[in-house]
């Protein structure tokens, strides 16, 4: 941190948001992206941050996060970072390290207390739902507070997620918005759990564009997604070829393994 910067600290000793840069926005959208299936949230966050040249304005410290150093292009970074782009009225939160289960409430509360202090009224979580195999014809699913549902229902490219549980820090943040003067909702899409899935990130970012006119360009991500899909299809064909070459007793075993 720049020694000339007067950092503003908000929270308890167990979890603190340290704001290192001043900025002004009117009711910015808070976008929360954390590691999940297909690292979709992380890909989406990095796309927003890099494309809009967003500045890191704060970070979150907590004893409920592993004590570890994050390197990016050889530079040390805080593992739980907050970026802002005043021109687009956008705040992005991302992290590489998990939060311990017994610290989820404390960490999410500290984050949303800080978010409220900078005028945030809406918080969205971008996340992936792990599925087996390559997702086909996937749509963005949403779960939201009552006052947000009518707006999301107008988007014909999305569907409501009827029931389920969102766990981890993403679920804790959404749970906390229910207790505040802040609307929380999640945009979710099926994702390949075992490898980066840029196509899922494309789906979520395009939904964000439709809802908020963010203006993020996803063409480069689409090219990456096509490469991943081709590679997955090659692997699937190799597995299927191996399965067919096995004796009948082994075929049953492969069917159980890859069902």
**For the chain, what percent of residues have pLDDT higher than 90?**
52
Tell me the pLDDT of the chain averaged across its residues: 83
Per DSSP bridges, beta strands 29-33 and 122-130 are parallel
Question: Is residue 36 predicted with pLDDT exceeding 90?
Answer: no
**For 20-121, where are the E strands, in sequence order?**
29-33, 55-62, 70-72, 75-77, 80-85, 90-95
| Position 238 confidence tier, pLDDT thresholds 50, 70, 90 | low
Collapsing DSSP to helix, strand or coil, 77 comes out as strand
Higher pLDDT, 206 or 135: 206
Q: Is the pLDDT of residue 245 over 70?
A: no
Give how far Cα 243 sits from Cα of 132, 183, 256, Å: 18, 49, 11
* Cα distance between residue 205 and residue 217, in whole Å: 9
As a whole number, mean pLDDT of residues 64-73 equals: 82
pLDDT tier, 222 (very low <50, low <70, confident <90, very high otherwise): confident
Whether the Cβ atoms of residue 184 and residue 177 lie closer than 8 Å to each other = yes
- Crossing angle (nearest 10°) for helices 219-245 and 198-212: 150
Three-state SS at 142 = strand
Kindly report the pTM of this predicted structure: 0.81
Low-confidence winner among 49-53, 69-73, 74-78, 198-202 (lowest mean pLDDT): 69-73
Query: Residue 97 has what DSSP assignment?
Result: S
State the Cα–Cα distance between residues 60 and 57, nearest whole angstrom.
Answer: 11
20 in Cβ contact with 1 (< 8 Å): yes
CATH pick for 8-217 out of 3.40.50.10900, 1.10.3720.10, 3.40.640.10, 3.20.20.70: 3.40.50.10900
Q: Any idea which residue has 């603190």 for tokens? A: 16
Contacts (Cβ under 8 Å, ≥6 apart) of 217: 51
- How far is residue 198's CA from residue 220's CA, in Å, rounded to a whole number? 10
pLDDT of residue 3: 42
Per residue in 53-62, pLDDT (tens digit) is: 999 999 999 9
Q: Which of 66-80, 113-127, 189-203 has the highest mean pLDDT?
A: 113-127
Better-predicted residue by pLDDT, 256 or 117: 117
Query: Would you say residue 145 has pLDDT above 80?
Result: yes
Q: How is residue 71 annotated by DSSP?
A: E
pLDDT at 255 over 50: no
Q: Taking CA 226 as the corner, what is the angle to CA 222 and CA 227, rounded to the nearest 5 degrees?
A: 120
CA distances from 87 to 63, 95, 171, 213 (A): 34, 23, 29, 13
Max avg pLDDT among 67-81, 170-184, 223-237: 170-184
The SS3 call for residue 52 is: coil
pLDDT digits (tens, 9 = 90+) for 159-188: 998 888 888 999 999 999 999 999 999 999
């Amino acid at each position: 941190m720049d020694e000339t910067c007067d950092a503003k600290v908000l929270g308890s000793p167990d979890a603190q948001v340290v704001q290192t840069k001043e900025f002004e926005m009117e009711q910015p959208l808070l976008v929360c992206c954390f590691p999940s299936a297909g690292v979709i949230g992380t890909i989406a966050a990095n796309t927003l941050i890099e494309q809009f040249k967003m500045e890191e304005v704060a970070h979150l410290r907590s004893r409920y996060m592993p004590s570890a150093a994050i390197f990016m292009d050889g530079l040390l970074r805080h593992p739980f970072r907050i970026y802002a782009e005043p021109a687009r009225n956008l705040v992005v939160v991302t992290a590489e390290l998990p939060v311990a289960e017994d610290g989820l409430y404390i960490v999410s509360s500290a984050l949303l207390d800080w978010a409220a202090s900078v005028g945030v009224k809406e918080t969205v979580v971008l996340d992936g739902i792990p599925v087996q195999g390559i997702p086909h014809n996937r749509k963005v699913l949403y779960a939201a507070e009552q006052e947000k549902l009518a707006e999301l229902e107008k988007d014909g490219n999305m569907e409501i997620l009827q029931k389920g549980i969102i766990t981890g820090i993403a679920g804790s943040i959404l749970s906390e918005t229910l207790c505040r003067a802040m609307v929380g909702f999640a945009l979710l899409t099926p994702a390949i759990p075992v490898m980066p899935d840029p196509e899922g990130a494309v789906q979520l970012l395009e939904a964000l564009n439709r809802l908020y006119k963010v203006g993020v360009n996803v063409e480069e991500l689409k090219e990456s997604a096509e490469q991943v899909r081709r590679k997955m299809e090659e692997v699937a064909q190799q597995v299927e070829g191996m399965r067919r070459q096995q004796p009948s007793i082994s075929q049953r075993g492969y069917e159980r393994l890859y069902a």
